[in-house]
Amino acid sequence: MSIDSLSAISPSARIGSNVEIGHFCIIEPDVVIGDDCRIASHVTIKRGVIIGNKNIFCEGTTIGNLPQHTSLDGNIGGIVIGDNNIFRENVTVHRAMHEPSVTQIGDSNYFMVNAHVAHDCKVGNNNVIVNNVMLAGHVEIGNRVNIGGAAGVHQFCRVGSYAMVGAQAHVIQDVLPFVTVDGLTSRIVGLNLIGLRRNGYTTSEINILKEVYRLVYRSGIAWKDILQKLQDEYSTGIASEITRFVLTTKRGIVHEGRYAENSLIKFCKTNENKCTNESDNEEQPALRVSVG
C-alpha cells in the first residue's frame, strides 16, 4: 500500500492491499476500497461508497457527493462500484436518494473527462461514457453501450445494451438495445452494426435484429399489434432482449429519424431569401436512412 502523507484518510475507511493514493486526496469514513486500486491526486471519495478491485481514479474525481435534489432528507443511499473501472479527470458520481438504494456501477466501464453519473443510476459493464456526458437521476445503462461526448440522458430513461448514442444527443426516451442514435437529430438511425460485428454477432443474428427493427419502426401497424408480434415471434434468442425492453418501457422509445421516401436535399442560395434545389433541371439524391 502506498498513501501520500499529504492526503487525509479516515482511520475508519477500509482500504485493501496494494492500493496507491496520491497527494491531496480525501477518503472519508464509511468508505470501502478494494485491492489494487489506483487513486491519483486531488481525488475525493466520500462516505457511503463501496469500491471493488483494480479501479483507477484520475485527478479531480469526486465519488459520493450528495444527490443534486431539492428534497433531500437524512437517509441518503450509497454507491457501489465493481471492478476494473476507469474514472478519468473530474468525473462525478452521486449517491442514491434514499437508503437502502444505491447508485450502481458494474465492471470495466470507462468514464472519460468530466462525465457525470447522478443519483440512483444503474450502469452495467463494459460501457464507454465519453467526455461531458450527463446521466440524470435513475438512468439505466446496459452493457457495452457507447455514449458520445456531451450527450445528455433524461432522468428515468434507459439505454439498452450494445446501443451507440451520438455526441450531443438529447435522450428523452428509452433507447432500444443494438441501435444507433444520431447526435444531431437525437433520433434512431439504424442498428449499431459495427458494434454488433465487433462483439462477435453472426450475420444470421444481425438479420434477425434487422427483422425486429423493421417491425418496430417500419411496419406501420398498430403499436399493440407490434407488441403482440414481438411476444409471439421474438421471445427467445437475440431478439428477446429487444422484446423484454419494449414491454417494460415506461417513457416510450426514441423514434426513428427518417425522411420521406422521395424527399430531396435542399440547398439555400445565399443571394435569395428562399431554399431551392441546387439545380431545377438536375435530380438530387434522396436522403434515406438504412438498417444496414
Active site annotation includes 174: no
Give me the catalytic one of 42, 94, 119, 138.
119
Sequence-separated (6 or more) residues with CB below 8 Å from residue 249 = 158, 173, 174
Please report, for the chain, how many H helices and E strands are present, in that order.
4, 30
**120 given a catalytic annotation:** yes
Which DSSP category does 175 fall into?
Answer: B
- CA distance linking residue 244 with residue 269, whole number of Å: 49
Among residues 34, 77, 124, 137, the one annotated as catalytic is 137
Q: Please say whether the beta carbons of 155 and 69 come within 8 A.
A: no
Rounded to an integer, what distance in angstroms lies between the CA atom of residue 208 and that of residue 237? 9
- Grid coordinates given for 286: 434522396
Under the phi-then-psi rule, with left for phi > 0, alpha for psi from -120 to 50, and beta for the rest, what region is 218?
Answer: alpha
> Rounded distance, CA 224 to CA 221, Å?
8
Cα(271)–Cα(154) distance, rounded to whole angstroms? 41
In 3-state terms, what secondary structure has residue 212?
Answer: helix
Active site residue 48: no
Catalytic-role residue among 107, 120, 174, 182: 120
- In order of 177, 178, 247, the CA distances from 232 in angstroms are 19, 20, 13
Q: Are strands 267-268 and 275-276 parallel, antiparallel or unpaired?
A: antiparallel
Tell me the residue length of the chain. 292
CB 105 within 8 A of CB 92: no
Catalytically annotated residues:
119-120, 137
